[in-house]
Amino acid sequence: MNKRAVYPGTFDPVTYGHLDIIERISGLYDNVFVAVARSEEKGPLFSAEERVFMLKEAVKPYKNVEVEYFDGLIVDYAKEKSAKVVIRGLRMISDFEYEFQMALTNRKLNPEIETVFMMPKESYSYLSSRLIKEVADLGADVSDFVPPDVAEKLKGKIKR
Which residues are annotated as catalytic?
18, 42, 91, 129
With contact defined as beta carbons under 8 Å apart, do 34 and 103 qualify?
Answer: no
Q: In what order do the strands lie in the sheet with 114-118?
A: 65-70, 31-37, 4-9, 85-89, 114-118
**Which secondary-structure segment (H or E) carries 18?**
helix 16-26
Region of 82 please: left (phi>0), alpha (psi -120 to 50) or beta.
Answer: left
Cis bond upstream, residue 13 (ω within 30): yes
Residue 87's DSSP bridge partners are: 116
